[in-house]
Structures are given as structure tokens and as C-alpha cells.
Amino acid sequence: MSDEWAILSRVPDILEEYNYLNTSSEVPVVQFEYPENLKNLIDFTIDNGGPREQSEIESIIKDVLHYSVKTGHSNFHNQLFAGVDPYGLAGSWITDALNTSQYTFEVGPVFTLIEDALIKKCLALFGFQDGDGILSPGGSISNMYAMVAARFRALPDVKRTGLANQPTLVAFTSEEAHYSIKKAVHWLGIGIDNLVLVKTDCRGRMIPDELKKSIEAVIESGRKPFFVNSTAGTTVLGAFDPFGRIADICQKYNLWMHIDGCLGGTAILSSNKTYLLAGSERADSFAWNPHKTLGAPLQCSVFILKQKGLLHECNAANADYLFQQDKFYDISYDTGDKSVQCGRKVDALKIWLMFKARGMSGLQALVDNAFDCARYFTEEIRSRSGFRLVLDEYEYTNISFWYIPKKLRVEEEHQDASWWARIYEVTAQIKEHMVKQGTMLLGYVPIPRKNIGNFFRMVVTCHPRPSFDTMRFVIDEIERVGESL
């Protein structure tokens, strides 16, 4: 091995040294520094000098690790993802080492068949008897794939003529849906003014009657409804829309029904939570991110749809230099024209390897454990003095709550706007102190449209494997910091 390749043998050792492969709870989640301070601690400039010694490169890598967030830490609960599955990480390393793409069978033979097998498995898991699919670079793009397919089905000529002189298309999504839907209507030229945000109930679920009223109002305005996005596991409250009733409405008005299950799709692997996805098999398309709850390495996003051949038909550009029709093998395995990309990482390997290594029962155990820990956390919050749940119960593994310090509890009977403003401020202050001390990363969010200010959003994922002890630590730490303010 030449000197320039020798660094690769050192990387696992350095990762282990800095507790990134199996993070100890004894080390900080992050060594926080403000941006200007961090610029003084690490030389980020790219100069015009020559090659560096390996020891210098190792030093640079160690600096990067030292000041980076340890998402594999048991006290990292800040995002919808956390640590990585070791089998998925192995797949990610292999993916990058082989450095191939996913557009033709000849350049990615094994990975083409891996993706094909994974798509077939996902079609079966989510109740799509037949269909098609693709791995995309994130859930936002998966949701955009769905909207493109729906637009093509509604207006087949749009691929050739564009939106000029076409009916004005209108999409629908809940007010709690992911912001990627708003970005999709912008990028696809539909326009944000033609995205209708449907009201939700107190638990964050789309109200079917409100959807129906919104569709009828759009029809009366002379515009053309074409797409309904429903959500399996909303970003904040983890809510699941009533898919069966939404499917009835979409069927009545001949609208494409998509499910953004990027977060909550993982419930399909649970032994007792699959009911959350009841009715989802009636959707036209589904997006799922195994890199969220399940712990596949970022990024790993699956998009499936029922209508076979539609992905290719609406996205194909027929590039002659890639997709020759007289190849010596079955060209149906050249999947690149289904994609909006040309170069495309072979992300399927990561989740496929997790399925192969753990089996369905192993993945089920991981997901069930996450749900068990989320249930335990909710019960502890409900029974602990000073803590208050935003909702009385939660469908997924997101738990939203407040902590009320003792000095504010004496005024709790007078819960006016100023008292709540102090609670919202305390929430942000607790987060700040925990980050600066490196003890925990836990997000907080408001829901302004429901007149709710800052509250903590606890996210329980499969990796690193949570336990009742790690759940109690979160509660104890918030209480400790809250009382120290």
C-alpha cells in the first residue's frame, strides 16, 4: 500500500480513539464552540501549498472529530436520526470505496440487483402488490418524485410543453406536513400559492372533512386538484394521518395520494405498531427514510409507487451515450432513466446489508425497543413533578413536553400569557446550557399556528440502542439544568 492509502488503515483507529464507533456516555456529546472561536481552533483555509505529511492529516482529522457532534452518543436526541447501524456503516464504507453509480447494469451490476431486491421488499412491506421504486438522495427528493409522477399522470403533455397553457394545478398537504412539500411546488413551477394547507386536529392529524372542503373550493375556483400529500409520522408530533379516509377522498376526486412516511414508515417493522399505517396500502406512492429511526447511514431514502413504468415514462431523457438500445444484456436493468439524477450513489447497499445481517426479526427487535423506550419515557414524564406533556399520548417515538422549574410552579395556577412566555424562554435556556456543557443535545420547537411556544421534542431512535436508563438520564438532566438557572 502506497503512503497515500495508508491513512485508510488509521481511520477506524482514530474513530475508536475519539469514541465515534461505540460512543461512551462519559464523553461530551459535543465540544461546543461559537463559529468565530472554531475558526481559530481549526485552520479551515485552503492554501496553495504542497502535499502534507500523514501525521499532519491525522491531526486535521482528529481536530474535525474533536469538535463534531457525536450523533452516536446515548444523549443525542436532537434530530430525527442519531447513531448508525454498524452493518449499514459497513455498507456505506463499501459504497464509497467502490465509487460507482447506479444508472446502468454494466457499471453497477451487483448494486442494480440489490436495489431491485430492496424495492421489491419495500413494495411487499407497505402493501403495494406490484409497482416500482428508486433510492433517492433524501425524503425531500422522494416527495418531489411523487409530485412529478402525479403531475405527469394528471397532465401527460406537461413533459413536452411545460405548464404554459395548462390548467392550474393545486396540491394539498396538512399544516403539520414537512416543508419539503412547499419546496416541491416551488421547484416544479406549481407555485406556493397553489399549495393548500389542510387543517389538523389537536393531535396534528389531517382532518379529512377539511381536505374535502378544500378540494371542492379549488374545483369551484376553476383550478385543477391533482395531488394529496399525507404524513406517516409528522416531524414534530409524530402524527399519522387517517389514510383510509384520505384514500376515499382521493379516489372520489381522482387525485394522486402520496404518503410521506420518511419518519413513521419504520413502524412497518414493529411487531405491534403496524396499525399506524392502516390504509397506507391504498396510496399511489410512499416515501420512507431508513436513515431516520432505523439508523441506516445518511442518506438512505426509498421511494415506491404502484404504477409500474410511470417513473421511467415521466423522467426518461433517453441519453444515447448511456442507454443504448442494442446492448448485449437485458436493458430493463438500466435504471438510470427513472432518476432525475445521472450520477447516483448506490445507497441501497446500506439498508440491504442491514436486512441481510439482522433479518426481519432483528430489525423488529430494534424498532420494538425504540417504541418501548418511548412509552417508558412518556410515562416517566407524566408522573414526574415539574414536567408536562404537550399531548396526553403519542403515536410515534417523538415525545413533546415542557419542564417547569420549581420557582415557576408556585405561579402555575395563574397560567397567563406572561407565565407561558417564561416557560418558553426557560426551554431555550435549558437547551443552551446542555449544549455548552456537552451533556445532551435535545431539540425544542414551537407550533405558532396552534399558539404553542417552545417545548422539548424528545426523539427516540434505534441507534445507539436506547434503554430505560438513558431515558431517565434525559429527564434527570433537564431537571438538573432547569433548577440551576
Summarised one tens digit per residue, pLDDT across range 292-306 is 999 999 999 999 999
- At residue 56, the pLDDT reads 92
Name the residue with cell 442494442. Answer: 326
In the predicted model, what is the mean pLDDT of residues 421-445? Answer: 97
Measured in whole angstroms, the distance separating CA 230 from the mean position of its chain's CA atoms is: 15
Model confidence pLDDT, tens digit, residues 188-218 = 999 999 999 999 999 999 999 999 999 999 9
As a whole number of Å, the CA-based R_g of the chain is 24
Domain contains 459: no
- Say how far apart CA 390 and CA 361 lie, in whole Å: 33
- Say how far apart CA 159 and CA 317 lie, in whole Å: 10
Burial class (CB in 10 A: 0-12, 13-18, 19+), 1: exposed
If pLDDT is split at 50, 70 and 90, which confidence band does 21 have?
Answer: confident
| Residue from 82, 93, 131 nearest 353 by CA | 93
- Say how far apart CA 126 and CA 389 lie, in whole Å: 31
Name the residue with cell 439482522. Answer: 358
From 326, 355, 384, give the residue that closes a domain.
355
Q: Residue 112 sits in which domain range? A: 90-355
* In contact, 462 and 296? CB cutoff 8 Å: no
> The C-alpha cell of 125 is what?
412491506
- Say how far apart CA 185 and CA 191 lie, in whole Å: 5
Given a cut of 60, whether residue 110 has pLDDT beyond it is yes
Which run of H or E residues covers position 444? strand 441-447
- Say how far apart CA 341 and CA 142 lie, in whole Å: 12
Given a cut of 50, whether residue 405 has pLDDT beyond it is yes
CATH number of 119's domain: 3.40.640.10
Given a cut of 90, whether residue 463 has pLDDT beyond it is yes
- Helices 243-253 and 208-220, packing angle to 10 deg: 20
Given a cut of 50, whether residue 343 has pLDDT beyond it is yes
- At residue 331, the pLDDT reads 82
If pLDDT is split at 50, 70 and 90, which confidence band does 1 have?
Answer: very low
Whether residues 34 and 122 fall in one domain:
no
* In contact, 208 and 245? CB cutoff 8 Å: yes
Whether residues 63 and 94 fall in one domain:
no
Model confidence pLDDT, tens digit, residues 252-294 = 999 999 999 999 999 999 999 999 999 999 999 999 999 999 9
Whether residues 54 and 135 fall in one domain:
no
Whether residues 114 and 223 fall in one domain:
yes
Whether residues 63 and 97 fall in one domain:
no
Spatial strand order in the sheet of 441-447: 76-77, 441-447, 452-459, 398-403, 387-389
Whether residues 134 and 189 fall in one domain:
yes
Name the residue with cell 440491504. Answer: 352
If pLDDT is split at 50, 70 and 90, which confidence band does 2 have?
Answer: low
Looking from the CA of 31 toward its CB, the CA atoms found within 13 Å total 13
In the predicted model, what is the mean pLDDT of residues 164-173? Answer: 95
From 324, 355, 386, give the residue that closes a domain.
355
| C-alpha dihedral, 402 to 408 to 409 to 414, nearest 10° | -100
Model confidence pLDDT, tens digit, residues 33-56 = 999 999 999 999 998 888 899 999
Domain contains 406: no
In the predicted model, what is the mean pLDDT of residues 4-28? Answer: 86
- At residue 466, the pLDDT reads 97
Q: How many domains does the chain have?
A: 2
In the predicted model, what is the mean pLDDT of residues 118-125? Answer: 97
Bridge partners of 200, per DSSP, are: 206
Q: Looking at this protein, which amino acid is placed at residue 62?
A: K
- Helices 86-98 and 348-383, packing angle to 10 deg: 150
Bridge partners of 195, per DSSP, are: 171
- At residue 348, the pLDDT reads 96
Domain contains 81: no
Q: Looking at this protein, which amino acid is placed at residue 447?
A: I
Model confidence pLDDT, tens digit, residues 139-155 = 999 999 999 999 999 99
Domain contains 209: yes
> The C-alpha cell of 191 is what?
407555485
- In 364-381, which positions are buried (b, 16+ CB within 10 angstroms) versus exposed (e)? bbbbbbbbbbbbbbbebb
Domain contains 431: no
Q: Looking at this protein, which amino acid is placed at residue 5?
A: W
Bridge partners of 170, per DSSP, are: 225
Given a cut of 70, whether residue 401 has pLDDT beyond it is yes
| Residue from 482, 469, 479, 476 nearest 74 by CA | 469
Given a cut of 70, whether residue 232 has pLDDT beyond it is yes
In the predicted model, what is the mean pLDDT of residues 401-416? Answer: 87
Whether residues 41 and 141 fall in one domain:
no
Whether residues 181 and 56 fall in one domain:
no
Three-state secondary-structure class, residue 388: strand
Domain contains 247: yes
* In contact, 139 and 180? CB cutoff 8 Å: yes
- At residue 333, the pLDDT reads 84
Bridge partners of 400, per DSSP, are: 457
C-alpha triplet 291, 131, 361: angle, nearest 5°: 45
- At residue 69, the pLDDT reads 95
Which run of H or E residues covers position 90? helix 86-98
> The C-alpha cell of 367 is what?
424498532
- Find all residues with CB under 8 Å of 44, minimum gap 6, and list them: none
What is the percent of the chain with per-residue pLDDT over 90, rounded to a whole number? 85
From 298, 333, 355, give the residue that closes a domain.
355
What is the percent of the chain with per-residue pLDDT over 70, rounded to a whole number? 99
Bridge partners of 228, per DSSP, are: 172, 257
Whether residues 180 and 38 fall in one domain:
no
Domain contains 435: no
In the predicted model, what is the mean pLDDT of residues 21-37? Answer: 89
Bridge partners of 301, per DSSP, are: 136
If pLDDT is split at 50, 70 and 90, which confidence band does 121 have?
Answer: very high
Whether residues 17 and 139 fall in one domain:
no
Whether residues 310 and 238 fall in one domain:
yes
Q: Supply the pTM of this predicted model.
A: 0.95
In the predicted model, what is the mean pLDDT of residues 467-476? Answer: 97
Given a cut of 90, whether residue 323 has pLDDT beyond it is no
Domain contains 216: yes
Whether residues 172 and 47 fall in one domain:
no
